[in-house]
Amino acid sequence: MQTYVFPMLILGGLGLFFGLLLAFGSKIFHVDKDERLDLIIDALPGANCGGCGYSGCAALANAVLSGEANVNACPVGGAKSAERLAEIMGVKAEPTFKMAAHVNCRGGINAKRKFEYDGIMDCVAASKLAGGPLECAYGCLGYGSCVAACPYDAIHIVNGVAEVNAADCKACGKCVAACPRHIISIVKDPLDVFVSCSSHQKGAELRKICNIGCIGCMLCQRNCPTGAITVTDNLASIDYDKCIGCGKCVEVCPRKLIIDAGEHVVKIDAE
Amino acid sequence: MNLTHYFSLSLSAILIENFIFVKFLGCCPFFGVSKKTDTALGMGVAVTFVMTVASAVTNLINTYILKENFAYMRTVAFILVIASLVQFIEMFLMKSMPSLYDSLGIYLPLITTNCAVLGVANLNVSNGYDFISSVIYGFSAGIGFTLAIVLFASVREKLEYADYPKCFTGFPIALVAASLLSIAFMGFQGLKVF
């Protein structure tokens, strides 16, 4: 009797006591939780990359639930997750474009160097040393801080310059944050044309230090049929709302730095 | 039981018989949550709280319900207490301190499986501590845990910039650092004067 019944009574009693305590506690400390939250978290990729601007997928799910963020806010999930989120939230998803990162520099082996850098192979470290080893103050240093930051292995150093593989890129923006030169931007993909230079240096000076940089010759601005290109501070920029993708600027650019997204790598002899 | 007794009790739990460095209890969260000082501190505070309350409740259960007859049921009963406590704290934090709840994340429910908490409950019994001594011992053990994990987290943050052989990257160097800290804590053995 004592050997079998008492232990059962004691443990059963303890279990009952704590069970009641927890049941009681869950009533007192009840927090209203929307059941759609778990559904939304399931529909998101779960990479917790922070590309949406929130601290993780769960934080975005909360924001979507409160109406703070749009259902298509996740750049990684893209149209697929937007569709499922819209279904859960009972709204219609607006069409999303695939976004991708682009490095606005084609310097690399085309750019002249001030000195041979032999320090830590990291762009932030390199840029701290006398403004970086490149003569150009805007160009890609090519030490791969963005490569290390990319969680999807979508960015690599090709010919001394970071190159995004748009097919792998999920537009999470990690590389944008990692780049000390601030020359990576998130743009629509496929994008018809883009200016692959970030230098605001005057044309004559720039010619001396880079074989490929934008010299601000205004040819593209003059030849654009829709007025989508403007040259400000010696650098051409394209207004993608106006751009019709005619390719005129690609033809006229004497430096061949306005390029089709189709042909990512421009082949220029480095001498 | 006078003040000196309580002082020596807490001193021994914090330094001389530190749960992590001397007794080697609770090593899982010690290595798992010690990458950043902030989270380490949060974890330490949560563990301290659970240890203190668990010491009090398990002491009462052991003295008034289990006694000597059912000593073999201690582990089961203590685990029940600890699990319920953690669950209760989780609900409490979710309601009243959602920001702390979010920052602790998965580590909060993981306190349930932290052997240092069960260890402190068992040590209270085997050392024959009364109620007040148990609570003080539990609280001091938690402080010792917090001290250890925060110290180790700050060492690990510095390790990021240290120059050590590449093959030691990650856990190997963390284990080496932990053993050195542990050796340092062995020096407190000399404090055993009370």
**How high is the pLDDT of residue A96?**
59
What percentage of chain A reaches a pLDDT higher than 70? 91
Domain with CATH 3.30.70.20 in chain A: 99-270
Spell out which residues of chain B touch residue A11, defining contact as CB-CB under 8 Å: 73, 76-77, 80
**How high is the pLDDT of residue B148?**
94
Residue of B35, B42, B53, B14 lying closest to B148 (CA atoms)? B14
Taking an 8 Å cut-off on Cβ atoms, the answer to whether B88 and A21 are in contact is yes
Mean pLDDT in residue range B178-194: 84
Domain with CATH 1.10.15.40 in chain A: 36-89
What percentage of chain B reaches a pLDDT higher than 90? 30
Give the CATH class of A36-89: mainly alpha
Q: Which pair of structure tokens corresponds to residue B153?
A: 């987290």
Percentages (nearest 5) of helix, strand, coil residues in chain A: 35, 15, 55
Neighbours of A184 (CB within 10 A): 25
**How high is the pLDDT of residue B140?**
95
Report cis status (omega within 30 of 0) of the bond before A45.
no
Mutate to test the interface with A, among B63, B64, B78, B87 (most CBs of A within 10 A): B87
**How high is the pLDDT of residue A201?**
82
- Averaging pLDDT over each range in A70-79, A99-108, A240-249, B5-14, which range is the top one? B5-14
Quote the minimal CA–CA distance from B106 to chain A in Å. Answer: 13
**How high is the pLDDT of residue A271?**
31
Between A and B, how many residue pairs show a Cβ–Cβ distance under 8 A? 42
Residue B26 has pLDDT above 50, yes or no: yes
Rounded CA separation A175/A182 (Å): 9
Residue A152 has pLDDT above 50, yes or no: yes
Rounded CA separation B180/A121 (Å): 32
Residues A240, A246, A247, A252, CA torsion sign: negative
Cα A228–Cα A229–Cα A234 angle in degrees, nearest 5: 160
Q: Which pair of structure tokens corresponds to residue A51?
A: 């590309």
Higher pLDDT, B192 or A203: A203
Using pLDDT thresholds of 50, 70 and 90, give the confidence band for residue B179.
very high
B73 closest CB neighbour out of A10, A18, A25: A10
Taking an 8 Å cut-off on Cβ atoms, the answer to whether B94 and A14 are in contact is no
Domain A99-270, CATH among 3.40.50.360, 3.40.30.10, 3.50.50.60, 3.30.70.20: 3.30.70.20
Q: Are B54 and B84 in contact (CB under 8 A)?
A: no
A213 has which bridge partners? none
The DSSP code sequence of B72-102 is GGHHHHHHHHHHHHHHHHHHHHHHH-HHHHH
Minimum Cα–Cα distance from B73: chain A residue: A7
Spell out which residues of chain A touch residue B80, defining contact as CB-CB under 8 Å: 11, 14-15, 18
What is the overall mean pLDDT for chain A? 80
Using pLDDT thresholds of 50, 70 and 90, give the confidence band for residue A90.
confident
Using pLDDT thresholds of 50, 70 and 90, give the confidence band for residue B145.
very high
**How high is the pLDDT of residue B1?**
60
What is the residue whose two structure tokens read 């030490």?
A143
Mean pLDDT in residue range A246-269: 64
Rounded CA separation B35/B39 (Å): 8
A25 closest CB neighbour out of B61, B66, B88: B88
Mean pLDDT in residue range B152-178: 89
Minimum Cα–Cα distance from B83: chain A residue: A18
Quote the minimal CA–CA distance from A12 to chain B in Å. Answer: 10
Using pLDDT thresholds of 50, 70 and 90, give the confidence band for residue A220.
confident
**How high is the pLDDT of residue A270?**
34
**How high is the pLDDT of residue A264?**
42
Q: Does A24 touch chain B (CB under 8 A)?
A: no
Q: pLDDT of A26-81, one tens digit each?
A: 888 877 777 788 888 888 887 777 777 777 788 888 888 887 887 777 877 777 78
A18 closest CB neighbour out of B65, B80, B94: B80
**How high is the pLDDT of residue B194?**
56
- Write down the domain spans for chain B: 3-190
